[in-house]
């Protein structure tokens, strides 16, 4: 099964709440009027697209209808698809790993699938011929180190770790030395997933960044925030908090297959001004892939 088919399969629950309801509404209206737009707006809001984003989409949709002189409700769907693709593609970009080595720091609260995402990113990069090393920088949870080690073994990449409770910055330092010695292409660092003490988290991340800057000056650096699509609007507030703490360069949206409210991806792209770089639509190792806005909208409406 290709990724597009997996995407279609993974978006099944969301299709049921968004696409099928939109189809029903468009079929039941004989003409395009204010009531039709209100119905569409309600569908978007209840699919976790968010109030502000939904209102913006409907406003833009009205303008598209006017500009194209569309009178047939059935044709509104194509215009809506164009609008959604445009919003999503504003926040679409590839991982920037232009230097050898490059560094990816992965942040996110506990339970969003951070460790699993690191394993899957490592798998994706390895399949592109890159030599990857993992750093177990979340030293506050023994389970995080063990889980990352399981993924490292599954993917077949090296992991640098220390005992639970070690200084995360020390782990990252060791990992950087390993990357230099082994001439690896990418270092992926796990970080602690605690948000309740924002100040501690901020200090910890600053320390890690200082070590990367000192030991690997001028390298390409991605800071990827992992968000769980099933948490809906809560994902937006997590993203805003992490953006205050660090310069997030991209979002990894996991568990899209587990939610009927996949509209959250539209809210994320519209409200956060941070590109969605990778999306996960399943449990398998290759179910995390580069985000493509057009493909996503096609899969959603197919």
Q: Residues annotated in the binding site, as ranges?
A: 108-115, 190-194, 254-257
* 3 state DSSP class of 65: helix
The answer to whether 139 and 164 are in contact (CB under 8 A) is yes
- 283: CB partners within 8 A, 6+ apart: none
d(CA 233, CA 220): 31
d(CA 143, CA 127): 27
Beta sheet of 276-280, edge-to-edge order: 158-160, 132-135, 186-190, 102-107, 221-228, 250-254, 276-280, 288-290
The answer to whether 105 and 224 are in contact (CB under 8 A) is yes
Which residues contribute to the annotated binding site for GTP? 108-115, 190-194, 254-257
């Amino acid at each position: 099964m290709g990724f597009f088919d997996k995407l279609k399969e993974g978006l099944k629950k969301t299709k049921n709440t968004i696409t099928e309801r939109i189809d029903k509404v468009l079929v039941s209206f004989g003409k395009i009027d204010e009531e039709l737009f209100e119905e569409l707006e309600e569908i978007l809001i209840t699919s976790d697209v968010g109030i502000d984003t939904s209102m913006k989409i409907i406003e833009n949709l009205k303008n598209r209808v006017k500009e194209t002189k569309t009178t047939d409700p059935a044709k509104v769907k194509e215009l809506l698809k164009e609008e959604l693709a445009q919003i999503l593609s504003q926040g679409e970009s590839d991982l920037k790993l232009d230097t050898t080595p490059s560094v990816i720091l992965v942040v996110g609260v506990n339970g969003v699938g951070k460790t699993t995402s690191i394993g899957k990113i490592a798998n994706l990069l390895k399949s592109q011929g890159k030599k990857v090393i993992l750093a177990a920088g979340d030293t506050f949870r023994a389970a995080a180190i063990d889980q990352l080690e399981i993924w490292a073994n599954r993917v077949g990449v090296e992991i640098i770790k220390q005992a639970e409770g070690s200084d995360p910055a020390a782990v990252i330092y060791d990992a950087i030395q390993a990357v230099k010695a082994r001439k690896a292409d990418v270092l992926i660092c796990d970080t602690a997933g605690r948000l309740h003490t924002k100040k501690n988290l901020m200090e910890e991340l600053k320390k890690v960044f200082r070590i990367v800057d000192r030991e690997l000056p001028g390298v390409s650096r991605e800071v990827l925030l992992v968000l769980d699509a099933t948490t809906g609007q809560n994902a937006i507030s997590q993203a805003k908090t992490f953006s205050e703490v660090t310069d997030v360069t991209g979002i990894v949206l996991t568990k899209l297959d587990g939610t009927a409210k996949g509209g959250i991806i539209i809210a994320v792209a519209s409200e956060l001004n941070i590109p969605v770089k990778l999306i996960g639509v399943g449990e398998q190792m290759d179910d995390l892939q580069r985000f493509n806005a057009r493909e996503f909208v096609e899969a959603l409406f197919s």
